[in-house]
Structure 1
């Protein structure tokens, strides 16, 4: 089987959609080596270089011209003899040739519809137009959670029969056991506290970091934060300064994936009270790291967290505070929940996800 992918995110996105694209190609090429995987884009990059070195993965440069991704990429895939084209980030090419080819699109979330205040009017209109076009053109749509499936049905008016839920996994670094030397080096490099709670993700309104900071005010619990800063960071920083919490909250930058895996493992608790997610990969990363997780009781987060994570109302910092303090003071409860959650998270392992994808590919041919 020859499968073509829109590889723009594979090569050019550092997190989110980039990680999804790279992990998907990595696990398919590993567990189903007999197929050929074509990565279509106008250029390649250093990202995913190790995957591109595999014998069954090949970069294909798209034809030159303006809007080549929309107007030429589909035809290029057909010229290469691909039987399936998979759009990995909610989009499919608009133009196709006469050769037969099946089309699949992955839709991660419709947050721009649920929370329009986070997006400009223009961005919302463009996103909706692209997603609707892809949903109509696709033979099958992959939703990365039951929550996203419900949103696709509601907002894009797609019949349920056209949608398959296939969860995504996480980077292999979170499943590896790092050596004592590596762990010690990370501790020293970032001057990590002996014990701490952790939050990972873009520092933006929706991710709700401020309510974690409010939740640890008047405690001595250290908080480590890893994530890209947006203008919302100023709001969090102002609260920290006003309440003299500068020594209690540590913001880390320039963290590699392998270092992040260690930071997760060393944390006592992972706290992720997001108001809405398409899936919530950081929760999966924490569970694979055997770190007990506190997350929101909304959107898809209970799907990702399982029954042994601890759930909070994200809008209620008193609730967040109470759950943090309860787990912080209770070593045996942390360990019990972490072990149970580690059993639960195996369903998001590479092999079962690759198997689901391959089943879908075969089904539509």
Structure 2
């Protein structure tokens, strides 16, 4: 079987959709090396270079021209005798020739429809058109959570039997045991407190960092934040200054994946009260790191967190505060929840996900 992938996110995105694309290709090539996996894009980058070294993975430069991704990439995959084309980020090429090829698209979320206030009118219209068109073209839609599946049915009016839920995993770094020397070097490099709570994710309104900051106000609990800053950061910064919390909250930048894995492990608690997610990969990263999680009781987050994570109303910072204090002051409860969650999280292991992906491909051939 030869499977072609839209490689844009694989090569161009450092996190999020990029991580999903790289992990998906990596685990398929690792567990099913008898197949061929071909990445199509205008160019390569350093991202995922180790995956391209796997014998069953190759790169093809797409045809040149305006809108080549939309108009030429599909035909290029057909000319390369691909059996399946998989769009990894909610899109499929618009043009194809008559050569047979099956089409799969992964849809991560429809947040632009659930929270339109975070998107411009133009972006909402473009996103909807692309996702709707891809859903119509696809022989199979992969949703990364049951929540996303429900949204696809509701907003895109797609028949349920055309959608398969296949969860995403996380980077191998979070499943490995780092050596003591490296752990100590990360500790020293970032001047980490002896104990701290952690938040990871883009610093934007939907991720709800301000309510974490409000929750720790009046406590002495250190908070480490890792994520790309947006204009919402100024809102958080204003609250920090007004309440003299600047020394209690530390923002880290340019953290590598291996360093991030260590910081997850060193944290007492991972706090993630997002207002809405398609999946919530940081929750998975924390649970693989044996760090107990406090997250929201909305959208797909209970799917990712399992029954032993602690759930909060993300709009209620007093609820967040109470749950943080509950775990912060109870080491045995933190350990119990981390151990139980590690059992639950095995459903997101690479072998299980790769098998589900391959079965999905085979089902449409």
TM tier, smaller: over 0.9
Q: Which residue of 1 aligns with 2:231?
A: 231
Output the aligned Cα RMSD: 0.3
C-alpha separation in 2, matches of 1:106 and 1:118: 22
Counterpart CA distance in 1 for 2:76 and 2:20 is 23
Alignment partner of 2:161: what SS?
helix
Tell me what 1:64 maps to.
Answer: 64
TM-score, normalised with respect to structure 1: 1.00
Q: Corresponding residue for 2:188?
A: 188
Kindly state the Cα deviation for residue 54 of structure 1 after the two structures are TM-superposed. Answer: 1.1
Tell me the equivalent position of 1:139: 139
Matches of residues 149-160 of structure 1 in structure 2 within 5 Å? 149-160=149-160
Counterpart of 1:207 in structure 2 is: 207
Residues 201-280 of structure 1: pairs in structure 2 closer than 5 A: 201-280=201-280
Give the distance between the partners of 1:129 and 1:362, measured in 2 at CA: 28
3-state SS in 2 of match to 1:308: coil
1:300 aligns with 2:284: no
**1:22 counterpart residue number:** 22
Using the TM superposition, give the Cα deviation of residue 322 of structure 1 relative to its aligned residue in structure 2, in angstroms: 0.2
Question: What's the offset of the Cα at 1:278?
Answer: 0.1
The CA distance in 2 between the partners of 1:65 and 1:217, in whole Å, is 54
In the other structure, the counterpart of 1:3 is 3
Q: Say whether 1:352 aligns with 2:352.
A: yes
Does residue 170 (structure 1) correspond to residue 173 (structure 2)? The answer is: no
Q: Within 2, Cα distance between the matches of 1:198 and 1:319?
A: 17
Cα-to-partner distance string for 1:189-226 (whole Å, 9 max, x where unaligned): 00000000000000000000000000000100000000
- Corresponding residue of 2:91: 91
Secondary structure of the residue aligned to 1:247 is: coil
Alignment of 1:303-342 (within 5 A): 303-342=303-342
What is the TM-score normalised by the length of structure 2? 1.00
Distance in 2 separating the partners of 1:70 and 1:246: 46
Per-residue Cα deviation, 1:277-310 (whole angstroms, up to 9, x for no partner): 0000000000000000000000000000000000
Aligned mates of 1:171, 1:118 — CA distance in 2: 28
1:364, distance to aligned residue in structure 2 (A): 0.4
Query: Take 1:106 and 1:59, find their aligned partners in 2: how far apart are those partners?
Result: 20
Deviations 1:77-97 (A, max 9, x none): 000000000000000000001
Distance 1:244 1:98 in 2: 65
Q: CA deviation at 1:55?
A: 1.1
Match of 1:363 in 2: 363
Give distance in 1, aligned partners of 2:54 and 2:351: 18
State the partner residue of 2:109. 109
Unaligned runs of 5+ in 2: none
Question: How far 1:166 moved relative to its partner?
Answer: 0.2
Secondary structure, counterpart of 2:112 in structure 1: helix
Residues 152-196 of structure 1 deviation map (CA, whole Å, 9 limit, x = unaligned):
000000000100000000000000000000000000000000000
